[in-house]
Amino acid sequence: MTDLVFTAEVAVGLLIALVGGFILAMLGRRRAIARGKVLTMCGLRSQIGSSWRSGFVRFGEDVIEWYALGGVSVRPRHTWQRRRLDIGAPIAMNPGEGLDAIHNAVRVACTHDGESFDLALAEPAYTALRSWVESAPPGAASAVT
């Protein structure tokens, strides 16, 4: 009986260590992705009718980068340049549309080099995105519709 209790204690200890290690790895990844820049939750849908993918969006000087929520990579899955990014008007999302993790989310239709996609952001993050696109240096080819 004591061997069974010892085995159970070891198994529970290993499980706690694995969960703790996973949490630390995710926090470290998020910190590495941010690198002192603005980072916020963002959903991405590449085609109308497809499912939303949760992730983070980071605003840089001339690019916006999207990172998947899960995983260990610190490289962006998508990168969009400010000069070639067009964003549409925000549309309020219903709670059942698949992104309940983002409070008061709005959906924004975007186009970059002929590729259309939707972003889902919290309202303040949308305002930041719109300001970021509009604050492009003179001569930028980006447009906000």
**Given pLDDT bands bounded at 50, 70 and 90, which one contains residue 25?**
confident
> What pLDDT, on a 0 to 100 scale, did the predictor assign at position 124?
92
> What pLDDT, on a 0 to 100 scale, did the predictor assign at position 22?
87
**Given pLDDT bands bounded at 50, 70 and 90, which one contains residue 37?**
confident
**Given pLDDT bands bounded at 50, 70 and 90, which one contains residue 32?**
confident
- Which residue would you say has higher pLDDT here, 66 or 141? 66
Dist CA 9 CA 123 (whole Å): 47
Q: State the CATH number of the domain containing residue 126.
A: 2.30.29.30
CA distances from 56 to 2, 36, 61, 89 (A): 48, 14, 17, 21
Each residue's pLDDT tens digit, 64-95: 999 998 878 889 999 999 989 999 999 998 87
97 & 58 share domain: yes
Question: Taking a C-beta distance cutoff of 8 angstroms, is the pair 118, 99 a contact?
Answer: no
Range of the domain at 104: 37-145
58 & 19 share domain: no
User: Mean pLDDT over all residues of the chain?
Assistant: 85
Structurally, the chain folds into a number of domains equal to 2
Residue 142, pLDDT above cutoff 50: no
Dist CA 88 CA 101 (whole Å): 22
Which of 40-49, 78-87, 133-142 is predicted with the least confidence, judged by mean pLDDT?
Answer: 133-142
78 & 46 share domain: yes
What number is the average pLDDT over the span 60-67? 90
Maximum C-alpha span of the chain: 77
> What pLDDT, on a 0 to 100 scale, did the predictor assign at position 34?
80
* Predicted model pTM: 0.77
85 & 118 share domain: yes
